[in-house]
Structure 1
Amino acid sequence: MDLTRSIRAIADAADAPGGIIDWEAVAEAAKGGVEPGDLRMEPAERKAIAADVRAARDGLREASGVQFDLPDTVEVQSRHHWIDANVSTFERVLRPLEEQGGGVFPGIARSVNSGTMAVTLAFLARNVLGQYDPLLLADGDDHGLYFVRPNIQRVAVELDVGYPRFRRWIAFHEVAHAAEFSAAPWLSSYLEARMEEGVDALSEGTLDREAFGELNTAMTAVEGYAELLMDRAFDEEYADLRRKLDERRGGGDPLTRLLKRILGFEMKREQYERGAAFFEAVADERDLATASLVWEDRDNLPTDAELDEPGLWLSRVA
């Protein structure tokens, strides 16, 4: 960790030209606030990670009945690599807010905003295990699959589970997201539209509750289906992994819990739990193929009410 690097980057942001956030300073400060972690791997580990991803693809294809390919980019990253990969995503999403300008004291506003974003990215970089990135709001149709090796190693130790087995389970979760977006070609544009509507409203000083509500409902389906699919496709015992990871999502010291709440981790945890409960109920009542109908059409997404009453969704869709 190099806090001097972070402080210098944010101080320099005040004099930088541009919008209300200096994204180069954000990346520099975020990387100063978190150790990159070790990426030194023996050839055997590299082969094992590739085997994990292939096994996840094959197992998920069989379990879901969805034929899909792996993303164009599959990377094992350090925390700093993850920051670099995600700065552009944050910049794209927040562009409408940036276009407001810096206000009365643009330099001060730019430093505060850049510092806030740097803290956010540094915290996320310490906690993200893996990520399927459909590159929302980007030009082109590329997708990325990332594994943050230092975090997976650390959490495996914290949970007292074997690193190879835990890493493999995380691979199943992230590849499950690839299956979802492959099964639902409309999903990326749907999420993009809801996101743009919500951020555009914020840039005008209003809150589009409908857009953010629809975005949250869709992401609850995305996370819940992946939870169901990863468990049912995984080729090893997972009950202890599920229990320990669920406990970790709600744990941490007081400061960590506060940051999780501020950054929306509590909402993310609710998405996991609520979505998983919905799809478990559907799959138990019918089967996994019926649960997969959610991706056939955007109108098949469960409503907020249906998430808590799966029978309503079954009556409407299945």
Structure 2
Amino acid sequence: MNKRKYKNYLWGYFFVAPTIIGLLILNIYPIFKTLLLSFSASTGFEEYVFSGLNNFTRVLKDREVWIGLRNTLIFSAVSVPGGIFISLLLAWLMSKEIRGRSVYRVIYFTPMVAAPAAVTMVWAWLYNSEFGFLNYVIKSLGGATHSWLHDPKYALMSVIIIAIWGGLGQQIIILIVAITNVPRVYYEAAEIDGAGGFVKLFKITVPLISPSVFFLTITGFIGSLTQFDLIYMLYNANTSKAMDSVRTIMYQYYRQAFVVQDKPYASAISIVALCLILIFTGLQFVAQKKIVHYE
């Protein structure tokens, strides 16, 4: 190796070193540390001893973990397909030549640039049982008001609505780009055969933008299976009657790690959550071979 080539290699390593170091410290090390802790038990004062599969056995017997898993699956099963469906319809409408199209796009993208804490506070006010806007409208129409966030019957769906609304902006932008890239010739051929708007949407548009829909499905399920911030900001675990209806598996991880201070058990819960994400992602990649159409 000549001197010039050696110097180029050194410069290459120099520029990638910060990224590699950051990856090792912030990603790789925590993964191995979590895996190691999940097979350990605390003896106090940040000292741990090997405990085998005891933490995972405890996870299988823990009622709160199973409740969190149930709520997480319901949250994912409703919020991801529901959000993508609504985003698809809105993206389809905004991809047409309508007046104020740019304004609508900005409005729907606003949730993506707003601070999550501020958004949550606004929704908490909308849902407030005493002076919230939603109950005010219902009461004005003669309906019965509800404690939307703290009634176990409505709590999870109320959180799902917030999550769907918060994800619309990114999903709409991605779908608009995908829709505008569909060749016009397919629509013209369908119009000759007498196809209407919804027929063209579901028979032409959806199949041709299925790679984008698949991407949103993958990222949506990963995000929903790790849902934590909404629950944390909306609920007080010590006072809310609806905690069993809304706690997710990642909220249970947070509680064990930072409230109970049982980090080995919390690590086992996080490993279970990781396995759940890998299973769902794997199933989606298997299914995409039949339902996703690449040009």
Question: Normalising by structure 2, what TM-score?
Answer: 0.27
Larger RCO: 1 or 2 (CA < 8 Å, sep 6+): 2
Larger Rg belongs to: 2
Question: Normalising by structure 1, what TM-score?
Answer: 0.26
Q: Going by fraction, where is helix more abundant, 1 or 2?
A: 2
